[in-house]
Structure 1
Amino acid sequence: MANSKSAKKRIKINKRNNIQNNSYKSLMKSSKKKHLSIIEQHSGDLTDEFKSLINQSLALAISQIDKAVKKKIIHKKTAARKKSSLSRNTFALVK
């Protein structure tokens, strides 16, 4: 249990930041899952509409990862690894 006023305040701040960080991580994970599900649903279809849909979902997933890095929720090298994995999976399934 915290004894000083500043320690009590830090506990409150840490709880608030933890909630915010978890929400950003959740958005990042869900956008990645949506992107991969779109690819799997349309894996045999290579129309222009499908390609634009894939590019939009990839851009959204990468954007969510970049926002998490900007807010220092994940490390920039972790983000690079995640983005590389996403794009590698995307272009492997699209080909």
Structure 2
Amino acid sequence: MANIKSAKKRIKVIKTKTLRNKIIKSSLKTTIKKFLAAVESGNVEEAKVSFTATVKALDMAASKGVIHKNKASRNKSKLALKLNKLTA
């Protein structure tokens, strides 16, 4: 356990940030799964709506620093390919 006041504060701050990051990552995974489920079912309209929500969630997570911007870009590209394959 930390003895210095600033170290104690850092422990508290890290706990809250870790919790926030877990929540954002979990919701991100959920939106991706919803999109993939829509693609699997072949529902184009639902997939398009879900795709925009997923892209928004990826961008938000990248802007908050939860995931790296290149990972967000890579995931968006991968999901866009699946959507394009479905609509083609």
Normalised TM-score (structure 2) = 0.91
In the TM superposition, what whole-angstrom CA distance separates every residue of 1:10-62 from its partner, at most 9, and x where no partner exists?
000000000000100111110000001011112xxxxxxx4332211100000
| 1:87 is aligned to 2:80 | yes
Gaps of 5+ in 2: none
More helix by share: 2
Please report the RMSD computed on the Cα atoms of aligned residues, expressed in angstroms.
1.2
How many equivalent pairs are there? 88
Query: For residue 13 of structure 1, what is the aligned residue in structure 2?
Result: 13
Query: For residue 28 of structure 1, what is the aligned residue in structure 2?
Result: 28
CA distance in 2, matches of 1:19, 1:64: 17
Bigger Rg, which one: 1
Kindly indicate whether structure 1 or structure 2 has the higher relative contact order, using CA contacts under 8 Å at least 6 residues apart: 1
> Alpha-carbon deviation of 1:75?
1.0
SS of the equivalent of 2:15 reads helix
Normalised TM-score (structure 1) = 0.85
Query: For residue 47 of structure 2, what is the aligned residue in structure 1?
Result: 54
The AA in structure 2 aligned to 1:91 is N
Query: For residue 59 of structure 2, what is the aligned residue in structure 1?
Result: 66
